[in-house]
């Protein structure tokens, strides 16, 4: 029988020979970034929805680089490098401020932020150099090894398809803000935040404001500040995480607890903060600029960074107009959240951060009070001083005992250890404040002082005490709707050698942006036109600002400030 004619190699053989010709190891160079990304996705993304968003974002990254480079191996490697960097930065950010990275970090990257990171992590710059020295040669090798070339048109179509899919996903299932506090889902949260950030920025920019107004604010005259009587030194104290824990049922408190929250007249007043459990800089923005961080929508977390160099209005600026010298005592590095730039923009002349003051870690309140006393002693006799004193000893974590050498007489009331440590620090804070007032009376017997204190936000565990039976999603909804029980702290007014001026603005409960107005009214300082207008809003809205008319009053006021030149490029 004649042999069968040779019909040629089978399809399997052709594929095998093709793979051999290309080289399995070259194909592996193309596949490995995607395999590594799949492992990262399974380890960090927690559900089907976040994994779908991950895949859309991963496709966008790869197609973006392919459009420019046409090489899938190099594009995959670059995409994987960015993914790993994002995961590492998210974990780093979560360790520092309990939130993962999002797209706004990229939109608002600045020299202050980079300086802050390199300062608190001195080895970071060398790690960056080392990583670059390894990655760049690898990218060159992949460029040489990559056997494939993909045309730009199909790659652009893939990029548009992935972008459309991610945008549609974000529109139907928008990422909830509270998930940013979870240490997971790094890429999906970053990508979804990019969609919402671009959408919000296109709609109203960084700051919400009315489109146009016929009315205008008058500009303050240089010589219009005439104070009746002697101007007091003003001390504004940022009382970190301080909150009357008796709002929560069943908490045992030490004897005498609660006096710290009362004012000179025996009243206990409420401060409606705009954050809860963290983000102290939101209150920092409120009490210095006298404006609402909520006007920035999804950008609110970055409010001090955005406002730096743009919001030239606030309590320090108003007091400088009346002859005050202004200073800030800040417990961290000035580059953190652009704190120094923001403070100086609102009128602070002398900014002292942790390095300037020689702070070693988290210092007790007495450290900052001693610095304030020193500043007052150095002040010229006829020049009043405004000092913003930012305390830090009551900052989390409360799982460890802070400075066990302090307050040796302390006896725990018998709550959970975290709550008892929180109470111990509050008692220590009250003791240091009492000593500070006594020192002012002793060292400056003939000088008047107005002291205003406020709790910037509740501690992070307060929601568990207030609503122990609620699940995480229900608690998150309370945060999203600004339930007052989660956002109410205190403010108190004290005086030394001075009688605070009575005013309808010194209300029993105020939203945070009104505190600069309360300070000026209690001190007897004439208001400039912007604060006069804000006082009218305050009286009309009974102490509410952003909450009044669903933000309409705040939007109108923001437009007035923009037209008057107090707010720029927002």
pLDDT tens digits for range 383-441: 999 999 999 999 888 999 999 999 999 999 999 999 999 999 999 999 999 999 999 99
CA distance 484 to 462: 13
DSSP string across 272-303: E-S-SSS-HHHHHHHHHH-S-GGGGGGGGGGH
* pLDDT above 60 for 120: no
CA distance 533 to 189: 40
Indicate whether 266 and 198 sit together in one domain: no
Indicate whether 168 and 303 sit together in one domain: no
Indicate whether 110 and 28 sit together in one domain: yes
pLDDT for res 19:
46
Say if residue 466 is preceded by a cis peptide, omega within 30 of 0.
Answer: no
**Is 559 contained in some domain?**
no
pLDDT for res 1:
44
Indicate whether 33 and 178 sit together in one domain: yes
Residue pair 348/328 in contact (Cβ under 8 Å)? The answer is yes
- State the pLDDT confidence band at 92, using cuts at 50, 70 and 90: confident
CATH code (residue 335): 3.40.720.10
pLDDT for res 15:
46
Tens of pLDDT along 490-500?
Answer: 999 999 999 99
Tens of pLDDT along 476-527?
Answer: 788 888 999 999 999 999 999 999 999 999 999 999 999 999 999 999 999 9
* pLDDT above 90 for 381: no
**Is 256 contained in some domain?**
no
Residue pair 462/484 in contact (Cβ under 8 Å)? The answer is no
**Is 521 contained in some domain?**
yes
Residue 376 CB coordination number (10 Å) = 19
Those residues with Cβ within 8 angstroms of residue 345's Cβ, 6 or more apart along the chain or in another chain: 307, 308, 309, 310, 311, 312
Count structural domains, the chain.
2
| 3-state SS class at 62 | helix
Domain range for 155: 18-204
**Is 220 contained in some domain?**
no
| Cα angle value 500/506/507 (rounded, 5°) | 145
Those residues with Cβ within 8 angstroms of residue 491's Cβ, 6 or more apart along the chain or in another chain: 269, 270, 271, 452, 453, 454, 455, 510, 515, 518
The domain boundary residue, chosen from 179, 204, 229: 204
**Is 503 contained in some domain?**
yes
The domain boundary residue, chosen from 159, 185, 204: 204
Buried b (16+ CB within 10 A) or exposed e, 386-421: bbbbbbbbbbbebeeebeeebeeebeeeebeebbbb
CA distance 286 to 304: 10
| Torsion of Cα atoms, 91 then 93 then 97 then 103, to 10° | -110
Indicate whether 283 and 144 sit together in one domain: no
Tens of pLDDT along 170-216?
Answer: 888 877 766 777 788 888 998 988 888 888 888 888 899 998 888 88
* pLDDT above 50 for 14: no
Indicate whether 510 and 367 sit together in one domain: yes
| 3-state SS class at 398 | coil
**Is 347 contained in some domain?**
yes
Indicate whether 454 and 534 sit together in one domain: yes
Indicate whether 194 and 268 sit together in one domain: no
| 3-state SS class at 453 | strand
Strand partners, 567: 311
Average pLDDT, the chain: 87
pLDDT for res 94:
72
| Paired tokens of 359 | 């702070």
* pLDDT above 70 for 168: yes
Indicate whether 166 and 270 sit together in one domain: no
Burial class of residue 70 in the structure, from the number of CB atoms within 10 Å of its CB (0-12 exposed, 13-18 middle, 19+ buried): middle
Indicate whether 191 and 301 sit together in one domain: no
The domain boundary residue, chosen from 188, 204, 220: 204
**Is 233 contained in some domain?**
no
Burial class of residue 431 in the structure, from the number of CB atoms within 10 Å of its CB (0-12 exposed, 13-18 middle, 19+ buried): middle
* pLDDT above 80 for 365: yes
* pLDDT above 70 for 119: no
Return the higher-pLDDT residue of 47 and 109.
47
**Is 380 contained in some domain?**
yes
Indicate whether 383 and 498 sit together in one domain: yes
Indicate whether 317 and 175 sit together in one domain: no
* pLDDT above 70 for 127: no
């Amino acid at each position: 029988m004649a042999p069968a004619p040779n019909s040629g190699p089978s399809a399997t053989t052709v594929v095998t020979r093709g793979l051999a010709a290309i080289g399995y190891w070259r194909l592996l160079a193309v596949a490995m970034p995607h395999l590594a990304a799949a492992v990262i996705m399974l380890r960090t993304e927690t559900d089907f929805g976040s994994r779908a968003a991950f895949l859309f974002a991963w496709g966008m990254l790869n197609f973006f680089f392919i459009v420019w480079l046409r090489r899938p191996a190099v594009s995959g490697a670059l995409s994987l490098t960015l993914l790993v960097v994002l995961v590492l930065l998210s974990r780093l950010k979560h360790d520092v401020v309990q939130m993962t990275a999002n797209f706004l970090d990229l939109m608002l990257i600045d020299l202050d932020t980079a300086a802050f990171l390199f300062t608190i992590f001195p080895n970071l710059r060398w790690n960056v150099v080392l990583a670059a020295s390894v990655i760049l040669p690898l990218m060159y090798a992949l460029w040489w090894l990559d056997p494939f070339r993909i045309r730009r048109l199909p790659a652009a179509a893939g990029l548009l398809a992935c972008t459309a899919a991610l945008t549609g996903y974000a529109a139907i299932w928008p990422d909830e803000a509270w998930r940013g506090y979870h240490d997971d889902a790094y890429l999906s949260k970053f990508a979804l935040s990019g969609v919402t950030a671009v959408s919000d920025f296109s709609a109203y920019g960084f700051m919400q404001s009315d489109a146009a107004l016929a009315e205008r604010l008058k500009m303050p005259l240089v010589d219009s500040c005439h104070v009746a009587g002697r101007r007091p030194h003003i001390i504004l104290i940022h009382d970190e995480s301080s909150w009357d824990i008796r709002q929560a049922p069943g908490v045992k408190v030490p004897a005498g607890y609660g006096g710290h929250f009362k004012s000179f007249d025996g009243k206990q007043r409420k401060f409606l903060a705009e954050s809860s459990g963290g983000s102290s800089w939101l209150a920092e923005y409120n009490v210095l600029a006298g404006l609402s961080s909520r006007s920035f929508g999804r950008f609110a977390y970055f409010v001090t960074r955005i406002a730096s160099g743009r919001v030239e209005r606030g309590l320090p600026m108003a007091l400088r107009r009346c002859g005050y010298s202004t200073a800030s005592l800040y417990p961290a590095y000035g580059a953190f959240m652009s704190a120094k730039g923001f403070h100086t923009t609102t009128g602070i002349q002398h900014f002292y951060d942790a390095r300037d003051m020689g702070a070693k870690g988290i210092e007790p309140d007495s450290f900052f009070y001693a610095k304030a006393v020193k500043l007052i002693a150095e002040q010229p006799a006829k020049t009043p001083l405004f000092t913003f004193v930012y305390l830090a000893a009551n900052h989390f974590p409360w799982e460890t005992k802070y400075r066990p050498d302090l307050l040796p007489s302390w006896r725990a009331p018998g709550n959970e250890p975290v709550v008892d440590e929180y109470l111990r620090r509050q008692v220590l804070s009250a003791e240091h404040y009492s000593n500070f007032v006594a020192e002012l009376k002793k060292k400056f017997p003939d000088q008047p002082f107005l002291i205003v204190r406020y709790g910037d936000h509740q501690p992070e565990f307060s929601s568990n005490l207030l609503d122990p039976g609620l699940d995480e999603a229900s608690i998150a909804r309370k945060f999203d709707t600004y339930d007052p029980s989660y956002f109410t702290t205190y403010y108190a007014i004290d005086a030394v050698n001075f009688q605070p001026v009575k005013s309808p603005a010194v209300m029993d409960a105020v939203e945070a942006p009104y505190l600069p107005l309360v300070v000026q009214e209690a001190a007897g300082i004439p208001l400039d036109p912007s604060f006069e207008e804000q006082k009218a809003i305050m009286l009309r809205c009974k102490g509410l600002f952003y909450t009044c008319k669903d933000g309409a009053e705040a939007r109108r006021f923001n437009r007035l400030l923009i037209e008057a030149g107090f707010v720029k490029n927002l």
